[in-house]
Amino acid sequence: MSYAALALSAGSLVVAALSYRAGGPRLRLQSLRIPMDSADNPFPSGAPVQLTVVNSGRAAVTIEGFHVTYPAGHEPLAYVQDNDIHGPALPVRLEAHSSERWIVDALPAARAVDHESGTDDPLGGPAQFRFVTRAGNGRSASEGFTYTAVRLIADARRRD
């Protein structure tokens, strides 16, 4: 009988842990290149990218900032600096079932990735990166879309 009680207690603990984890914030990051001549572009000499963070979970979370990493990597290559972000001041609290958007100048990050990789990533292709958002609870969300550093740099130079 004591084994049955132990198994029931262990099962209850697993269900409680899964329920707690499912009830927290669920972050998703979306990015979109903004046309250079758009009225929404606060960085006319940069490479504007709109980042939208969506919290589809049942709990609020604090968004602390953004960084970029290689598409298959986890370590930050460059942090998006405050002066390269247009939108709500970070850190910002993102309530459950809500979203917020920022426009970032991706040009400094692209230059950092290009410099770090010597124009080629470890796999031998052009230096690519993706955006990642950092949350106050230790979690992060990354965009599945990758940007090519050299392409963003070239696009910004064409406007000069």
Q: Using an 8 Å Cβ cutoff, are 138 and 121 in contact?
A: no
CA dihedral of 88, 157, 145, 67, whole degrees rounded to 10: -50
Q: Encode pLDDT of 42-52 as tens digits.
A: 988 889 999 99
**Per-residue pLDDT at 121:** 46
Beta bridge partners of 23: none
Strands 128-135 and 61-69: antiparallel
Q: Encode pLDDT of 70-98 as tens digits.
A: 888 778 889 999 999 999 999 999 999 99
Q: Which of 123-127, 132-136, 156-160 has the highest mean pLDDT?
A: 132-136
Q: What is the mean pLDDT of residues 141-148?
A: 88
Considering the segment(s) 25-159 as one domain, its CATH architecture is Sandwich (2.60)
Domain boundaries, the chain: 25-159
Nearest to 133 by CA among 48, 52, 65, 61: 65
Nearest to 43 by CA among 87, 77, 79: 87
- The model's pTM: 0.80
